[in-house]
């Protein structure tokens, strides 16, 4: 996610030149898709700082994210996890509509938290990334990855212990045996390597 800082000045110039020629955004990945599709969305706090660092903030952000998307009709959320420094969503949406809605949520949450922390002007969010789901295998690997994320990052030992996740809903709806079967059939080995570390 922060590869830009590791590049030499010459390599940065070359990357920018190529992006300009291709008519891509200069410093962010392009967001394609005007039709509704399934996406894995990742939103991260700037430099992965733990800004959502309390149960109150995690609760409030989860509520605003999920209820706001449901009320606006911008996206149909399938799965989610919210951690102190980033979040993952599996949803169906039109990216242009979702992007506009998410920018407003990021802006209001950043303004509120900066006020609470007496840190006016602090950069809270580092955009978001999207990856279109390419089929059933990708869908279930993403689902497993999202639910295992609190364990991967060391916040809990078992996924069901993390309250800011859709895991409990899936366990209630499909049963533990089904989730174990999905885990065996769609492992997350290597998923997220390099961008969610």
Q: Where are the domains of the chain?
A: 1-30, 34-185
pLDDT at 5 over 80: no
DSSP strand pairing (86-93 vs 75-82): antiparallel
The reported pLDDT for the residue numbered 25 is 56
Confirm whether pTM is higher than 0.85: no
Q: Report the percent of the chain where pLDDT is more than 70.
A: 86
Candidates 3.30.470.10, 3.40.50.150, 3.30.70.1290, 3.10.290.20; correct CATH number of 34-185? Answer: 3.30.70.1290
| Chain segment 111-126, per-residue pLDDT in tens | 999 999 999 999 999 9
Give the model's confidence band at 7: pLDDT under 50 very low, under 70 low, under 90 confident, else very high.
Answer: confident
How many whole angstroms separate alpha carbon 97 and alpha carbon 100? 5
């Amino acid at each position: 996610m922060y590869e830009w800082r590791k590049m030499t000045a010459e390599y940065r110039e070359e990357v920018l030149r190529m992006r300009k020629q291709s008519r891509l955004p200069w410093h962010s990945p392009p967001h394609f898709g005007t039709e509704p599709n399934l996406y894995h969305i990742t939103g991260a706090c700037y430099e992965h700082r733990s800004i959502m660092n309390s149960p109150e903030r995690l609760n409030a952000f989860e509520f605003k994210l999920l209820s706001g998307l449901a009320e606006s009709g911008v996206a149909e959320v399938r799965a989610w996890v919210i951690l102190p420094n980033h979040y993952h969503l599996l949803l169906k949406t039109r990216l242009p509509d979702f992007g506009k809605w998410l920018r407003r949520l990021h802006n209001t949450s950043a303004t509120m938290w900066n006020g609470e922390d007496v840190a006016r002007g602090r950069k809270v969010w580092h955009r978001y990334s999207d990856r279109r789901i390419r089929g059933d295998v990708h869908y279930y690997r993403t689902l497993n990855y999202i639910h295992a994320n609190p364990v991967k990052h060391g916040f809990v030992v078992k996924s069901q212990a993390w309250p800011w996740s859709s895991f409990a809903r899936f366990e209630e709806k499909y049963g533990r045996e089904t989730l174990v079967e999905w885990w065996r059939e769609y492992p997350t080995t290597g998923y997220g390597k390099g961008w969610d570390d």
